Structure formats: structure tokens, C-alpha cells
Amino acid sequence: MWFVYIIECSDSTLYTGITNDVIKRLKRHNEGKGAKYTKGRGPVKLLKTFKFETKSEAAKEEYRIKQLNRRQKLAL
């Protein structure tokens, strides 16, 4: 299983990513090791996850979500 997730950083910005282990990935973000964007923006809070059978499906959805504006992402 693969997941697309949306997190909110401490500065209220949103970050979208993919993983096969949401808990581990969230922990990495909060340790400042998850992604370049989230370094220094922690702690982060998980807002939403979407489950997919394949990495390819998850990557396509991640791309689609990243094209949305903040209001649209929060509406998901």
C-alpha cells in the first residue's frame, strides 16, 4: 500500500508527499529529516491521507494535489 499525505507545518504552510509508511514518514518530518521543505518548519501535523494500491497511482495523485491551491487542498 502507498499513501499520499498532506501535512501542515508550524508556519501554516501545507506539504504533500507519498510514502508506504505514514507514521514513520511523519516522524522523520518532525525530526527535520523528512524533506527539504519541512526542515525548520516543524513540528508538522498530519491533515489527510489517501490510500493507493501502487506507487504509480500515489505519485499521480500527489502531482494532482500539488497543482491545487491551499483552499482546494483543505477542502479534500
| 7-66 tens-digit pLDDT | 999 999 999 999 999 999 999 999 999 899 999 999 999 999 999 999 999 999 999 999
- Give residue 41's pLDDT: 92
Q: How crowded is residue 47: how many other Cβ atoms within 10 Å of its Cβ?
A: 15
> CA 2, CA 11: separation in Å to the nearest integer?
27
CATH topology of domain 2-75: GIY-YIG endonuclease (3.40.1440)
Cα torsion 20, 70, 43, 32 to 10°: value is 60
Average pLDDT of the residues in 69-74: 97
Whether the predicted model's global pTM rises above the 0.85 cut? yes
